[in-house]
Amino acid sequence: MTEAPGKFSQLDILLPSQHYGRSHKSTPEQRLMIAVLHDALDCVEKYRFATDPEGRRLFQEAKKWLLADEADWPYSFECICGILDLDSAAVLQHILVATQATAEPQRLRCG
């Protein structure tokens, strides 16, 4: 995890193509899925301490999306992880560890 004062900065989640090199170009759908995942992670990071209604709403929506146990629609967290060859449980665990690494008033909780 890349550390920064007061926040967990950037999550160290690597896509298989980043580790092994690209065997083919990502499809537009895959790039969109990466952007959706990236946006959710950014919302959790940026708004987890938010006190304003809009910031709290964005945090809660990202949290709800990440914790939803759904794989039946193309842009669910589970489906995106499956298509991008990411272990969704490992991604969630990494997010939980990263958010608990700092003393935050609101924790991202499973369950």
Residue in the block written with tokens 């608990």:
100
Q: What are phi and psi of 62, to 5 degrees?
A: -65, -45
pTM of the model: 0.67
Sign of CA dihedral 46, 2, 32, 67: negative
Domain boundaries of the chain, sorted by first residue: 2-12+27-100
Q: Does the structure show a pLDDT above 70 at 105?
A: no
DSSP bridge partners of 2: 10
Query: Model confidence over 3-45: pLDDT tens digits?
Result: 444 444 455 666 665 555 555 678 999 999 999 999 999 999 8
- Extended beta strands in the chain, E state: 2-4, 7-10
Pair 61, 46: CB distance under 8 Å: no
- DSSP state at residue 6: T
